[in-house]
């Protein structure tokens, strides 16, 4: 695969993942808190959102890591900012995998069992971790674009 196609897949995947987290954190979260008072409705809505969004995140993570390492292999020398991007990208991916298999799994079980207390706890963990990944994602775009320009 050429560098240009790899870079396109790399960046479009970043856009989907980081843009999705931005919408969830900055718009959906406060809107849901405003509109829905009852925990069952809130938790079911979040579960429905994550169920549909997370498969796209898996695809984005696979493409970002795949194209990232492929492009790295095409560079004659690997600059420091690319090393930093790779490191931050791997940390973000690990956080997503954790979200998926731990608090998201807990949220699914809690909603199925109508255990709203446990579901609320899981959602709180997901919120914190998605907030962390959103900050890391924005930092990584800065590292990638500003690092390249320097």
Binding flag, residue 148, ligand HEM (CB under 6 A):
yes
Supply 43's token pair. Answer: 């938790």
Binding flag, residue 71, ligand HEM (CB under 6 A):
yes
- Kindly identify the residues of this chain, within the stretch 110-139, that bind ligand HEM according to CB under 6 A: 137
Supply 97's token pair. Answer: 């995998």
Binding flag, residue 68, ligand HEM (CB under 6 A):
yes
User: Among residues 32, 86, 95, 129, which is the contact residue for ligand HEM, using CB under 6 A?
Assistant: 86
Binding span for ligand HEM by CB under 6 A among 24-32, 83-91, 104-112, 116-124: 83-91
**How far from the centroid of its chain's Cα atoms is residue 27's Cα?**
16
Query: What sign results for the dihedral spanned by CA atoms 38, 39, 40, 46?
Result: positive
Among 84, 90, 86, which Cα is nearest to 71's?
Answer: 86
- In whole angstroms, the minimum distance from the beta carbon of 23 to ligand HEM comes to 16
Residue whose CB is less far from ligand HEM, 11 or 45: 11
In contact, 19 and 56? CB cutoff 8 Å: no
Rounded CA gap, 121 and 149, in Å? 42
Instruction: Find the length of the chain.
Output: 150
Supply 14's token pair. Answer: 């970043």
Interface characters, 5-44, with ligand HEM (x: CB under 6 A): --x--xx--x------------------------------
Residues found near ligand HEM in the complex (CB under 6 A): 7, 10-11, 14, 64-65, 68-69, 71-72, 82, 85-86, 89-90, 92, 137, 140-141, 144-145, 148
């Amino acid at each position: 695969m050429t560098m240009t196609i790899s870079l396109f897949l790399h960046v479009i995947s970043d856009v989907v993942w980081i843009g999705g987290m931005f919408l969830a954190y900055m718009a959906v979260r406060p809107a849901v808190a405003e509109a829905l008072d009852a925990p069952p409705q809130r938790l079911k809505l979040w579960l429905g959102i994550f169920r549909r969004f997370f498969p796209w995140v898996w695809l984005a993570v696979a493409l970002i890591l795949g194209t990232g390492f492929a492009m790295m292999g095409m560079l004659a020398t690997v600059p420091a900012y690319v090393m930093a991007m790779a490191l931050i990208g791997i940390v973000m991916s690990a956080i997503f995998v954790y979200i998926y298999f731990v608090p998201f799994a807990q949220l699914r079980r809690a909603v199925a069992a109508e255990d709203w207390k446990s579901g609320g706890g899981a959602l709180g963990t997901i919120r914190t971790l998605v907030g962390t990944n959103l900050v890391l994602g924005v930092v990584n775009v800065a590292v990638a674009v500003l690092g390249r320009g320097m």
